[in-house]
């Protein structure tokens, strides 16, 4: 199978290149960029010297179709909205890592993203690619909307509880922390090393675009969740997300064992979800560079609250890794194909 | 005024030395340690070479009294419990940075600390040294119990709301993040550089010793708070704490302006509390090396929740700085004396 | 005494504000910027909220003179060259932290900086402000050219040896490492957190503008040094410079003790230079936030080489701290006035 | 092929597990430790949960031989010296990552390591496993002594020049910088996060054990090199080494192009050495997690000096990665087998 990447110079693109280069079933044939056409990708990313000689090309659906069967979009808001339809028409399978096609309701998109939404027919075609909860739809999809990094960590930690009506749905509070690579590759004051090093910041309190995506995900797979409270923080590190999730148990008789059994049962066939042992919580470095989502869970008798701790590598399970997982499922490859990485530790 | 430090080789001790060395009203006369007697403190801390020639001495109340009027304890659990009575009897004023005398109820101490509590008469003498809320008691105290780092950040962010009955007291969730210096100076696997760098960890979920201290503080200054949910995380940085605090508003008519006005009014005479502007939240580096507590606050109409963000330097307002602030108040010095530091930024 | 800062929004400016705010002899009266006039400096630097209400003003010599006696320039290349003459004419004392007036020979400046040099009469007036070696000239100066960060660390480590003809002057190799704040406050790909974190980079091999400044300094205070080899590296940290300096001893009979005695004798009256004990070498954190230069030195019998290790805080002794030290000396204040900081450790 | 690891709980061991788990030709069958027998390796390294269930076993040559054909030693000084002979006798191939067998002359070992050397016959059997320079010997070896991290980076950067007599052999100065993982997994004050974060340290000036190893390597492959000057620094990062190497050119007519051509010619068949383009120098992150050694080289007309910049991942090309490369060569596998990793960037 032949693949192309649009938006190859960003961090999501770089990890896609890393993964596709060693994928046993796929060959990366072309890389595309809106701004740096004609230069080698290894000039933009010197760590790729000697590994690939691919040259950045225009973003042209027909040009891409000549070279590839499937195309990944790792692009800013508004690009996939405008171009995914043409890519599908050209006969390509499309995996979109941007947020353009994640929200089923265009009005909600417009409210949170502040730009026009994709047209309804395109939104309808898009399958939300959270493989642990949508495997069947992904298997037959032509167009995947790859979930956001925070929603991935958060939904994997919340859905077992929401689906089984184990919590007070109005009580969900998600305190999320992200590595700085989540802010992308464009330099800015916020991501300037001297400002961010040895610093811890909160940002977008109650205003992050991932809020409606999380709420939509909870309502699709569970019963009614009116809202969640969601805050995001920047950690002085390169890769990793932790979602610490708090909620009131709906059942005062709940035991910690039942809770853990539920998570293990839910994810027994999910190769990338690791439910951690009683009393053990994951740290972000334990999934570094891989597609794992590690989950710790506990119940506090004193307060009646459940705490779920979910960690991922934001560029992997939160972006490129999950995109490859979706590629595998939609093409009938082994789900873990090209993703058998062990965390780089320490 | 002459001062001594017990436990001078730890990080709290190091910052006390830094502050006392330049304090206009106080002279540091002796440093004491349980283990490294006879060596210069500048051998333990090379950054002090050429600044002080003090030699570590035994921990002996009479010896200390010969040299000092006030003594700071920056010691592990169990030391202050055993020795503070003797220090008082010797005629010293005592400022205890450990947790031994913070919990009024010895049984609660024993439950959370797992060792015997101080006797009741000593606990009764100790004044909880949170100056923004206890200035009068501190003015006449002989024995100060300096608050913990997490409780300081958290109580300063919560008390205005709890005292004024603005929130549902059962809804408080505190997601706290600390720099690694909070774990002290003893090397351990958790604080090993290669494990902690580029990593984000959660620890002591629902089990931190600071939980009863926060709950006690809320109940002393506010109306009944049955419990809080409190989790702690380690950030790969040296100094700083952020408490992100979530709670349900008791009043659906609350406006963000009222909320901010309340904080500003509460702390209008507090020289170290800075209430940040609407839409602005503090980051830990903005208080680096200083005694400031910066607070951001917002109200979310959509969820009916208040979010408070409170940051301090854990070794300053969370330990040594607040201890000096208490020293100033109990001795009638200017509250900011010796604490006029500007954040070292970047 | 009243002071002004031109270029207050950069990192050098921020540290000048920090130092001047607490200086017992000087009051900071105005701050000036080429681009952000009319906004409060505390909007550019939130850590200054509640500390100063100064508003950024135009860069206008007469306006500055109305408010100040002395002015600091913390500006990019070309600004001081164009404006220092006018500032002097307006009757101000000038301390220039930029590189514009450091090189006595305008042609050398033009060769390394790539822009026109200041006119010769201005260059002649400027005194190179390395206080440990130029105290007398500084005392009577009206215009100080504050040394570069690398040259400060390097010259303090090399001059005792060069002046006393103890080394082969052709053998000097300086391997310098700097924190990222040395690159300034403007975001760029090189200083983007995700690229620089957990990374170590070399840059400007044999091409750094500080090479001629070091060579000039060695030749002014010592005998002929034809050239030095000088490389610079970026360390993933915020503050600090280490110069590791290698050279062949001119004297095979040299003992390590003689070497150390020479350094101690040279700097016995220098309050900010700390010569470390035998076998001990400084680390950058040991001078964090202060004006110290710590020096370790050793001689290797096996190779006949001397190694000198010199560390400073690049924004302090390498910029703002040294500027204040110069201010003190040129105005007859105590040399350490306003600079009695103890390293913030850890 | 079946493999075992002795010393599996250290960082070298962890990376060996990572590499062997995905190696197409080898299966990791057992892990051994001197102290934690009976526990799962995934209890020591939670990032391995769900990946391997191997349980730590005793270090017993016969026990190992029952399970494996080849054994890796990732052990402290003195272990390989004592046990490698028995492992060979048991019929195992041995790859030793420790320093015990690297120095041909036992007396030199004893001088620098301070403990007894291995016996001469064992030392004689050991082949120094620097594949780019010893491929033939490695192909027929039974016992490989895997080079040290610093010597690997340094020798790959120096040997082309030394072998071709292009430099003054007395002029070599190596300024080396290492990530903290090079100090191993045992917590210590030096590697304590709060001390090492935002800090840059020099250590073991003129005294590092890798000095004789580098000198030996230069003399084996080149003409006489009497000594090198070698200093080591700790960088606040997890993985990576940079050797910045300075030397006087023996030939004042040398052009930069000739220099680069020499490096490219030397390593044209070396799949893991990447010679960087003119004017481009590698940073450590560009080889993160891989077996690459990236080299930049330049010549400075002004000083007559050559500078070589060589970077590796200290746990990969500096330890586990090179060990696998040696395994591949000695067993006739593809040299890059199991090592086709692309740098994890950013």
pLDDT, one tens digit per residue, over A19-31 is: 999 999 999 999 9
Confidence of residue A251 (pLDDT cuts 50, 70, 90): confident
Q: Which of A200, A246, A296 lies nearest to residue B235, judging by beta carbons?
A: A200
Chain C residue whose CA is closest to A183: C194
Task: Please tell me which residue of chain B has the smallest CA distance to D11.
Answer: B194
Grade residue D320 by pLDDT with cuts at 50, 70 and 90: very high
- Chain A residue closest to D339 (CA)? A22
Contact criterion met (CB < 8 Å) for B281 and A202: yes
Question: In chain D, which residue's Cα lies nearest the Cα of A17?
Answer: D342
Q: Is A35 on the interface with C (CB under 8 A)?
A: no
C345 and chain B: CB distance < 8 Å anywhere?
Answer: yes
| CA B202/CA A282 separation, integer angstroms | 8
Q: How confident is the model at residue B318 (pLDDT cuts 50, 70, 90)?
A: very high
D205/C238 touch (CB, cutoff 8 Å), yes or no? no
8 Å CB contact of C246 and D229? yes
What are the phi and psi torsion angles at A140 (to 5°)? -110, 15
What percent of chain A is predicted at pLDDT more than 70?
100
Q: How remote is the C-alpha of C118 from its chain's centroid?
A: 20
Distance CA B282, CA B242 (A): 9
Nearest Cα neighbor of C229 from D259, D303, D298, D247 is D303
Write out the catalytic residue numbers of A.
Answer: 149
Catalytic residue numbers of C? 149
- At B100, is the secondary structure helix, strand, or coil? coil
The overall average pLDDT reported for chain D is 97
Distance of CA B254 to the CA centre of its chain: 31
A196: chain C residues, CB-CB within 8 Å: 193
User: Is pLDDT of C226 > 90?
Assistant: yes
Given a cut of 90, whether residue D306 has pLDDT beyond it is yes
Predicted confidence (pLDDT) per residue in B292-305, tens digit: 999 999 999 999 99
Flag whether residue C137 sits within 8 Å of chain B, measured between CB atoms.
no
Residue D233 pLDDT exceeds 90: yes
Residue C221 in this model has a pLDDT that exceeds 90: no
For C106-114, which contacts have Cβ atoms below 8 Å and span 24 or more sequence positions? C108/C212, C108/C216, C109/C212, C111/C212, C112/C209, C112/C211, C112/C212, C113/C77, C113/C209
Q: Is C76 exposed, middle or buried (0-12, 13-18, 19+ CB in 10 A)?
A: middle
Confidence band of C20 (pLDDT split at 50, 70, 90): very high
Min Cα–Cα distance to chain A from D253, Å: 30
- A264 to chain D, any CB pair closer than 8 A? The answer is no
Which residue of chain B comes nearest to A313, CA vs CA?
Answer: B199
Q: Which of B247, B226, B173 is nearest to A302 (CA)?
A: B226
Question: For all residues of chain A together, what is the average pLDDT?
Answer: 97
- Both tokens of residue B283? 């980051």
Cβ of C128: how many Cβ atoms within 10 Å?
24
Which residues of B have a catalytic role annotated?
149
pLDDT surpasses 90 at A67: yes
Is C200 an interface residue toward D (CB < 8 Å)?
yes
Strands B273-275 and D70-73: unpaired
Q: Domains of chain D, with CATH numbers?
A: 2-147+319-330 (3.40.50.720), 150-312 (3.30.360.10)
Q: Does D305 touch chain C (CB under 8 A)?
A: yes
Determine contact, residues D155/D217, Cβ cutoff 8 Å: yes
Across C270-292, average pLDDT: 97
CB within 8 Å: A237 and C197? yes
The pLDDT tens digits for C256-278 are 999 999 999 999 999 999 999 99
B67 interfaces chain A, CB cutoff of 8 Å: no
Concatenated DSSP letters for C305-317?
Answer: EEEEEEEE-TTTT
Residue D281 in this model has a pLDDT that exceeds 90: yes
Closest-CA residue of chain D to C193: D346
Q: Which chains touch B (3 or more CB pairs under 8 A)?
A: A, C, D
Confidence of residue D116 (pLDDT cuts 50, 70, 90): very high
Contacts of B307 in chain A (CB under 8 A): 205-206, 229, 231
HSE toward the beta carbon, residue C78, CA cutoff 13 A: 6
Q: Do A344 and D18 count as a contact with CB atoms less than 8 A apart?
A: yes
Closest by CA to A147, choosing from A87, A93, A209, A105, is A209
Contact with chain C for residue A188, Cβ under 8 A: yes
Q: In what order do the strands lie in the sheet with B27-32?
A: B56-57, B27-32, B2-6, B70-73, B93-96, B143-145, B127-128
Give Cα D136 distance to the centre of its chain. 18
Of D185, D274, D346, the CB nearest to A49: D274
Q: For chain D, give the number of residues.
A: 346
Q: Using the beta-carbon criterion (under 8 Å), do B47 and C285 form an inter-chain contact?
A: yes
User: Distance from C116 to chain D by nearest Cα, in Å?
Assistant: 23
Q: Is the pLDDT of residue A122 over 90?
A: yes
Please indicate whether, in this complex, the C-beta atoms of D233 and C177 are within 8 angstroms of each other. Answer: yes
- The stretch B4-17 carries a mean pLDDT of 98
Give the strands of the sheet with A27-32, arranged side by side: A56-57, A27-32, A2-6, A70-73, A93-96, A143-145, A127-128
1-20 in chain A: CB under 8 A from chain C: 11
pLDDT digits (tens, 9 = 90+) for B265-290: 999 999 999 999 999 999 999 999 99
Does D135 contact chain A (CB < 8 Å)?
Answer: no
Q: What is the mean pLDDT of residues C314-327?
A: 98
> Quick one: DSSP state of residue C91?
T
Pairing of strands C173-178, C229-234: parallel
pLDDT, tens digit (0-9, with 9 covering 90-100), for B61-107: 999 999 999 999 999 999 999 999 999 999 999 999 999 999 999 99
What are the structure tokens assigned to B93, written together? 């004023």
Is the pLDDT at B310 greater than 90? The verdict is: yes
Mean predicted confidence (pLDDT) in A274-288: 97
Chain C's closest residue to B199, CA to CA, is: C198
Q: Work out the minimum CA distance from C294 to partner chain A, whole angstroms.
A: 23
A286 touches chain D (CB under 8 A): yes
* A-chain residues near B284 (CB < 8 A): 199-201
- If pLDDT is split at 50, 70 and 90, which confidence band does A229 have? very high
Distance to chain A for B331, nearest Cα, Å: 35
Average pLDDT of the residues in B167-181 = 98
- Neighbouring CB atoms inside 10 A of C302's CB total 11
A106 pLDDT above the threshold of 90? yes
3-state secondary structure A62-88: HHHHHHCCEEEECCCCCHHHHHHHHHH
**D255 inside 8 A of chain A by CB:** no
What mean pLDDT do residues A239-263 have? 95
* Contact yes or no for C59/C6 (Cβ under 8 A): yes
pLDDT score, position D199: 98
* C-alpha to C-alpha distance for A344 and B72, rounded to whole angstroms: 44
Residue from A48, A198, A199, A345 to probe the interface with D (highest D Cβ count within 10 Å) = A345
Greatest C-alpha distance within chain C: 64
Q: Does B260 touch chain C if contact means CB atoms closer than 8 Å? A: no
pLDDT the model gives residue D251: 87
Q: Which residues of A touch B239 (CB under 8 A)?
A: 198
Q: For A238, which of B198, B202, B235 is closest by C-beta distance?
A: B198
Whether D33 has a pLDDT exceeding 90, the answer reads: yes
CB contact (8 A) between residue B346 and residue A302? no
Question: So what's the pLDDT on residue B80?
Answer: 98
Average pLDDT over residues B37-46: 97
> Across the strands, what pairs with C229?
C173
Cross-sheet strand order for the sheet of D241-248:
D201-203, D229-234, D173-178, D241-248, D305-312, D293-300, D273-275
Instruction: Examine the pLDDT at A222 and tell me if it is beyond 90.
Output: no
Q: Give per-residue pLDDT as tens, D81-107.
A: 999 999 999 999 999 999 999 999 999
Which chain C residue is nearest to residue D198, measuring alpha carbons?
A: C237
Report the run of H or E that residue A195 belongs to, with start and end.
helix A193-196
* Inter-chain touch D229–C303, beta carbons under 8 Å: yes
B238: contact with A, CB 8 A cutoff: yes
What is the spatial distance between Cα C14 and Cα B341, in angstroms, rounded to a whole number?
A: 14
Cβ–Cβ contact B302 with D under 8 A: no
Write the burial class of residue A186 (CB in 10 Å: 0-12 exposed, 13-18 middle, 19+ buried).
exposed
Q: What pLDDT was estimated at residue A221?
A: 86
pLDDT at A241: 98
Give the pLDDT score at B271: 98
Structure confidence at residue B252 as a pLDDT band (50, 70, 90): confident
Return the bridge partners of D67, or none: none
Q: What is the pLDDT of residue D137?
A: 98
Question: Do residues A71 and A7 touch, judged by C-beta distance below 8 A?
Answer: no
Long-range contacts of D261-269 (CB under 8 A, 24+ apart): D262/D160, D262/D161, D262/D164, D262/D166, D263/D160, D263/D295, D263/D297, D266/D159, D266/D160, D267/D132, D267/D160, D267/D295
Which residues of D are catalytically annotated? 149
Closest-CA residue of B relative to D196 is B193
The chains found to touch C (3+ Cβ pairs under 8 angstroms) are A, B, D
- Residue C274 has its nearest CB partner, among B14, B49, B346, at B49
Q: Measured between beta carbons, which residues in chain A are less than 8 angstroms from residue C200?
A: none
**Residue contact C181–B346, C-beta within 8 A:** yes
Of D200, D283, D284, the CB nearest to C284: D200
């Amino acid at each position: 199978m032949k693949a192309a990447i649009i938006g190859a110079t960003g961090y999501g693109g770089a990890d896609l290149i890393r993964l596709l280069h060693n994928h046993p079933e796929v060959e990366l044939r072309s890389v595309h960029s809106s701004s740096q056409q004609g230069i080698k990708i290894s000039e933009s990313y010197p760590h790729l010297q000697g590994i690939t000689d691919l040259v950045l090309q225009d973003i042209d659906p027909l040009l891409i179709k000549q070279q590839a069967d499937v195309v990944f979009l790792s692009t800013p808001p508004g690009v996939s909205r405008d171009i995914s339809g043409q890519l599908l028409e050209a006969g390509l399978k499309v995996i979109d890592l941007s947020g353009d096609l994640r929200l089923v309701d265009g009005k909600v998109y417009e409210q949170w993203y502040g730009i026009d939404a994709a047209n309804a027919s395109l939104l309808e075609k898009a399958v939300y690619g959270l493989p642990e909860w949508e495997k069947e739809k992904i298997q037959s999809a032509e167009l995947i909307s790859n979930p956001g990094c925070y929603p991935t960590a958060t939904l994997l930690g919340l859905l077992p509880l929401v689906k089984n009506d184990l919590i007070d749905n109005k009580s969900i509070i998600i305190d999320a922390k992200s590595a700085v690579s989540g802010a992308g590759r464009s330099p800015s004051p916020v991501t300037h090393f001297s400002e961010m090093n040895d610093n811890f910041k909160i940002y977008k309190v109650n205003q992050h675009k991932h809020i409606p995506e999380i709420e939509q995900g909870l309502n699709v797979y569970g019963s009614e969740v009116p809202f969640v409270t969601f805050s995001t923080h920047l950690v002085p590190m390169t890769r990793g997300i932790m979602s610490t999730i708090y909620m009131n148990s709906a059942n005062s008789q709940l035991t910690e064992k039942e809770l853990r059994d539920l998570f293990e049962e839910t994810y027994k066939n999910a190769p990338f979800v690791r439910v951690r042992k009683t009393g053990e919580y994951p740290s972000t470095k334990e999934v570094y560079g891989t597609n794992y989502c590690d989950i710790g869970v506990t119940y506090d008798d004193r307060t009646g609250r459940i705490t779920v701790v979910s960690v991922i590598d934001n560029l992997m399970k939160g972006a490129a890794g999950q995109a490859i997982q979706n590629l595998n499922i939609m093409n009938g490859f082994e789900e873990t194909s090209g993703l058998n990485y062990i965390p780089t530790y320490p």
